[in-house]
């Protein structure tokens, strides 16, 4: 069997049981230089001593609500009114004990609640006071999202045990600071808190929200009508306050003949994480995954590989994948293998997980290209790209993408695609952002049983040269490198 799946499971004391899985076709044609794999991480409830699932501890949660109050929020006035109602609704669903604050965002950031420095603790009384302040928010001034995020960063506690989250709402372009200034702030915020960004109206830029979400391990979403904000805020806060583990990271260690070409979160949202890699050493990088709850996420990993020798039809280690919780590996490592072969049947087969993810990425690239063309006034280019997206989404049964495309085009039963007449900019930019959301085809699989104890005859992979050695070996028989006690094991397959 050429398609390969590897899974390990671990439970951590925060109430989450994690599983780590890698799916790939390890065979490449002789001379092949790219290996694709899907890394899946699933968190499920773990039960306490009483047999009941462990629930979030409100005092460990901290929330900052950042509300765009720039002048454009008054055009039309229903936007700022909807933002006030949505913020009040978000405050209402904060559980007692959660620490929180509200920030007014214009060309600068101003903490409007609590009145004293720091965060308030959610209770019936503080929620009522906060809502009274929010009811007086008015629209005036400019837009500088970096300053808003910096204010959230400075409010949120630094304790590693605290699950920190920010909800950011905007309706405008980040015009009162440069992209470089926003990038600098994002780098100081990365790893400190998770941010979910929402857009409303037709004056904002999707790439601003997507950039914030990618850098801060969050989501980028949008609403077509201000009236939808209230439900969106409630859903976002409920999801944020259901997190149990504050700091999850994926560590990739490559062999000398492999390097990371890119890492993208593939589901539930498509985000390119490559530029946010934290380099540990010359062969090791980490990617922050932010806070974690009962959920599954998938990551598309692409390695550039170069055959280290002329050996064919032999499994070689290309990369080791570790799941870090609070900085420590909490599952057995998973491996990405590569096997160069002259067998074209083996190398031509597609792993189903890789194929599905790459297909969905192609759909979203076509949607984005169509949105860019439409913004340039190139209606022919927009139609060409969106028609291609419809074709790809139909072939892959990507209903989430088709749902967004129906706002942009009319799809006839015979497959003919036409641009919608009087298409609004709101529909274009909302579809651009929401097309990054990708649905899972089924429920997350239950974690498998913990890995069986090592057997003496199990093969071990060298993390230095990728060579297989016997399971009881303490050093690599190929390069004499000491074998890590936690090193990946398995069975070499010809």
> In this predicted model, what pLDDT tens digit does every residue of 132-174 receive, in sequence order?
999 999 999 999 999 999 999 999 999 888 999 999 999 989 9
Above pLDDT 70, what percent of the chain?
A: 86
Q: Find the mean pLDDT for residues 116-141.
A: 97
pLDDT computed for residue 476 by the predictor: 72
pLDDT computed for residue 494 by the predictor: 34
Q: Find the mean pLDDT for residues 275-298.
A: 93
| CB-based burial label for 57 (10 Å; 0-12, 13-18, 19+) | middle
Asked if 67 contacts 83 with a C-beta cutoff of 8 angstroms, the reply is: yes
**132-136, 293-297, 306-310: which has the minimum mean pLDDT?**
306-310
Q: Whose structure tokens read 């929020």?
A: 73
Q: Find the mean pLDDT for residues 248-268.
A: 95
pLDDT computed for residue 2 by the predictor: 47
- Residue 150: Cβ within 10 Å count: 18
DSSP element (H, E) containing 99: strand 99-105
Distance, CA of 475 to CA of 332 (rounded, Å): 19
Asked if 34 contacts 304 with a C-beta cutoff of 8 angstroms, the reply is: yes
pLDDT computed for residue 82 by the predictor: 96
Asked if 461 contacts 474 with a C-beta cutoff of 8 angstroms, the reply is: no
Cis, peptide link before residue 236, omega less than 30° from 0: no
User: Which residues contact residue 33 at a Cβ distance below 8 angstroms, ignoring those fewer than 6 apart?
Assistant: 304, 305, 306
Distance, CA of 287 to CA of 233 (rounded, Å): 27
pLDDT computed for residue 378 by the predictor: 96
Report residue 330's pLDDT band, with 50, 70 and 90 as the boundaries: confident
Q: Find the mean pLDDT for residues 380-389.
A: 97
Q: Find the mean pLDDT for residues 469-479.
A: 66
Enter the DSSP assignment of 483.
P
Chain-centre distance of CA 220, in angstroms?
10
| CB-based burial label for 224 (10 Å; 0-12, 13-18, 19+) | middle
Whether residue 373 is predicted with pLDDT greater than 90 in this model: the reply is yes
Distance, CA of 34 to CA of 411 (rounded, Å): 36
Q: How far is CA 156 from CA 4, 14, 101, 136, 163, in A?
A: 42, 20, 9, 24, 9
pLDDT computed for residue 150 by the predictor: 98
Q: Whose structure tokens read 């997507």?
A: 210
Report residue 445's pLDDT band, with 50, 70 and 90 as the boundaries: very low
For the record, the structure tokens of 27 come out as: 């065979």
Cis, peptide link before residue 268, omega less than 30° from 0: yes
Whether residue 466 is predicted with pLDDT greater than 80 in this model: the reply is no
Q: Find the mean pLDDT for residues 57-61.
A: 85
CA geometry: angle 58, 189, 40, nearest 5 deg? 70
pLDDT tens readout for residues 190-247 = 989 999 999 998 888 898 999 999 999 999 999 999 999 999 999 999 999 999 888 8
Distance, CA of 60 to CA of 130 (rounded, Å): 20
- Residue 304: Cβ within 10 Å count: 15
- Residue 207: Cβ within 10 Å count: 15
Whether residue 492 is predicted with pLDDT greater than 70 in this model: the reply is no
- Residue 42: Cβ within 10 Å count: 22
pLDDT computed for residue 57 by the predictor: 79
Distance, CA of 25 to CA of 197 (rounded, Å): 36
pLDDT tens readout for residues 431-440 = 999 988 887 7
pLDDT computed for residue 125 by the predictor: 98
Distance, CA of 196 to CA of 222 (rounded, Å): 11
């Amino acid at each position: 069997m050429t398609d390969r799946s590897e899974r390990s499971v671990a439970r951590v004391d925060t109430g989450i049981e994690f599983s780590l899985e890698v799916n790939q076709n390890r065979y490449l044609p002789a001379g092949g230089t790219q290996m694709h794999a899907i890394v899946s991480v699933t968190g499920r409830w773990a039960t306490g001593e009483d047999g009941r699932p462990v629930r979030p501890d409100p005092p460990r949660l901290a929330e900052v609500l950042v509300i765009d109050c720039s002048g454009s929020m008054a055009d039309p006035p229903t936007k700022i009114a909807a933002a006030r109602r949505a913020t009040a609704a978000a405050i209402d669903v904060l559980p007692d004990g959660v620490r929180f604050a509200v920030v007014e965002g214009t060309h600068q950031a101003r903490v409007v609640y609590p009145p004293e420095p720091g965060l308030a603790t959610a209770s019936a009384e503080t929620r009522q006071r906060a809502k009274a302040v929010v009811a007086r928010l008015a629209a005036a001034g400019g837009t500088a999202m970096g300053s808003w995020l910096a204010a959230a960063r400075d409010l949120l506690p630094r304790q590693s045990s605290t699950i920190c989250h920010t909800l950011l709402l905007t309706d405008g372009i980040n015009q009162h600071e440069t992209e470089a200034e926003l990038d600098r702030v994002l780098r100081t915020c990365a790893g400190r808190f998770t941010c979910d960004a929402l857009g409303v109206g037709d004056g904002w830029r999707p790439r601003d929200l997507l950039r914030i979400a990618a850098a801060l391990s969050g989501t980028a979403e949008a609403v077509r009508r201000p009236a939808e904000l209230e439900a969106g805020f409630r859903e976002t806060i409920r999801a944020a306050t259901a997190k149990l583990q504050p700091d999850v990271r994926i560590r990739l260690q490559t062999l000398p003949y492999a390097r990371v070409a890119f890492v993208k979160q593939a589901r539930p949202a498509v985000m390119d994480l490559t530029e946010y890699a934290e380099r540990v050493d010359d062969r090791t990088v980490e990617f922050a995954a932010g806070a974690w709850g009962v959920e599954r996420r998938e990551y598309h990993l692409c390695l550039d590989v170069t055959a280290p020798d002329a050996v064919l039809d032999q499994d070689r280690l290309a990369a080791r994948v570790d799941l870090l919780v609070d900085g420590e590996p909490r599952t057995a490592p998973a491996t990405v293998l590569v096997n160069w072969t002259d067998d074209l049947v083996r190398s031509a087969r597609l792993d189903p997980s890789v194929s599905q993810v790459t297909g969905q990425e192609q759909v979203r690239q076509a949607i984005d290209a169509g949105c860019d063309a439409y913004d340039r006034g190139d209606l022919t280019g927009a139609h060409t790209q969106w028609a291609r997206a419809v074709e790809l989404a139909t072939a892959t049964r990507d209903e989430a993408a088709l749902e967004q495309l129906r706002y942009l085009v009319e799809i006839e039963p015979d497959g003919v695609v036409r641009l919608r007449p009087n298409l609004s900019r709101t529909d274009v930019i909302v579809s651009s952002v929401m097309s990054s959301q990708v649905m899972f085809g089924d429920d997350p699989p239950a974690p498998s049983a913990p890995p069986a104890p090592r057997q003496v005859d199990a093969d071990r992979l060298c993390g230095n040269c990728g060579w297989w050695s016997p399971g009881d070996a303490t050093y690599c028989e190929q390069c004499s490198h000491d074998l890590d006690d936690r090193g990946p094991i398995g069975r070499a397959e010809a």
